[in-house]
Structures are given as structure tokens and as C-alpha cells.
Structure 1
């Protein structure tokens, strides 16, 4: 029997890596499908993948017929949809807000740091 969860990923994608970590921390079975971002013209540009993710980005998660994109949204979905002993976010709203704020600030901080060095 195949898993209802299918993760489209690429091994060098830090965003996809975050989702793989979350899936494994929660102990969820999933099928891993590689989207080679550098082979030829890049598999992310193929029509069949663009139907799943019009932006052509990884990760993309299928849960049955539902499609989820963007790593942070996928991680929150997994935490809410799949109860279990392992929770990825704190149970208290103010603590969850702190976690979300730090996740949202991190990419902006990195971009600001990288561009100021130019």
C-alpha cells in the first residue's frame, strides 16, 4: 500500500529539507519523488510538475488529492493535520507567534545581509 503523502523534493533544496525533517520528526510515512532542478532544462519546468506547482518550486506535498506548496505552510499543515506525540509548534499561541516571527524574519535577514555586502 502506498503512502497518501507524496513529497516532491530536491536534495540540495533547504526548503525541501525542512519538510523532510518535519515528516521524519512526526514519524509520517511518505513517498519521495525527486525533482532534479539542474538536469537538462530542469524537471521543475516540465508541464506535469507545473500542474502541481505553477511556480516550479520545491517542495510540493500531496496528501491524497490535496496539493500543498511552500515549506513553512506545509510544515504547519503537517503539524495540524497529523496529531501525534511529536508537535512541531508550541501549544501556546504566544509561543507559536514567536516561532512564526523568527521563521519569517530569517529569510529577510539573510537577504538584507547578503545584499548589503554587494
Structure 2
């Protein structure tokens, strides 16, 4: 398999973690969202109509959108499982992941922030207020869901890393990049620290990618 990935992309990051947790080998194809015009080319848009990352090239063709890729991995590589067996628990884990995938990440991604800045004339203070608002809303909700729930263990669900942890870790990385104060979320930080001990998360970290650039 081949993965088109950008080191600082949260969606690429979560896909790399999922591939690592599943033990799937892949070749990384780094792309630079800041300068790479290749993603806008007609050739790349044949693979990914949005001209975005990640794109996973498989024997069955290209797969796009990190949520769809991770679901495909869960279906085609069922062990180790990223979701619990019980349907109600699966829905709970998916809800945690969806707070990131639907409520935080989309409104704070590079494309949206560039529009706010370049088209609507927002200054840095306004951009910071925007990103912090949605991140605090989402992280606060996740903290509330997890803090006293018996299903939480070392990780979001039990003592095995899974889907919710993948989304949580990548969003906390984004929150740190936006300089959000994370002290109100001790439960989330404890889970993040557990994940940081695992090779699958370590190898996927932005700083470990071949295209990493500091700053």
C-alpha cells in the first residue's frame, strides 16, 4: 500500500496511527500542503477528487477520507479491533471520534483558516479566538463523556487502544499547535500519555515523518 500524507495533517496522522495499530505495511508518499501544487493537478484528482490528503493506494484502488479509510481497515483487517463488540459501546466510541471528525477538525483545518484570513480579512487574534472556541467546546465534551464513565480504562475504552484514542491523540496535537490550554482536560491528557508509550502512535507522530519541518 501507498499513503499520500502530510506530516502536519491531522487526517493523515490518524490514518498513520490506524495503519500502525493494524500492523499494515505501507509506503509513505509525502506531500507538502503548504507549497505542493501536485495535489491540485488533474492527475492527483483522479485519485482524490478533493485534492486532499490522505489517499491510500490499495490493490482495490485508491481510498480517500480518513474516516472511510479507517473503517475499511477495520473491516479488512479485523484484528486487533479498533471498536468494541457491543453495539451500544461501539456507538459510544464512534461518538467520541465524531466529536473530533465532525465538530472540531473540519472548522479548524488549513483550508477554512485560510478562507477566514484571506477572504474575510480575519487577523491572528480573530483566528485564535475561532480555533480555541471550537477546540474547547469539543475537548470539554470529550472530557465530560470520559471522566466518570466505567467503560474508560487506560484508554478511552478499556485497556486497549482503539478508534477514539486515534482521534483524541491527533486532535490534542492540533490543540497544542494552536496553543490551547489543556489543563482543564486531565482525563484526556492521561489517555494521551498512555498512547504516547505505544510504538504505533510514536511512529505516526508528525515529528517522526520524513517530511517533518519544525515551526
TM-score (norm 2): 0.47
Preserved contact between residue 59 and residue 69 of structure 1 (Cα < 8 Å): yes
What is the CA-CA distance between 1:109 and the residue it aligns to? 4.8
Q: 2:91 corresponds to which residue?
A: 97
Match of 2:75 among 68, 71, 80: 80
Shifted more, 101-110 versus 29-38: the winner is: 101-110
3-state SS, counterpart of residue 29 of structure 1: coil
Q: Which runs of 5+ in 2 are unaligned?
A: 109-128, 134-215
Match of 1:114 among 130, 141, 156: 130
3-state SS, counterpart of residue 28 of structure 1: coil
Q: 1:32 corresponds to which residue?
A: 28
Q: 1:61 corresponds to which residue?
A: 56
- Structure number having the greater strand percentage: 1
Shifted more, 9-18 versus 98-107: the winner is: 98-107
Alpha-carbon RMSD across the aligned residues, in angstroms, is 2.3
TM-score (norm 1): 0.80
**Structure 1 runs (4+) greater than 6 angstroms displaced:** none
3-state SS, counterpart of residue 28 of structure 2: strand
Q: 2:13 corresponds to which residue?
A: 17
3-state SS, counterpart of residue 94 of structure 2: helix
What is the aligned length?
Answer: 111
What is the CA-CA distance between 1:92 and the residue it aligns to? 1.7
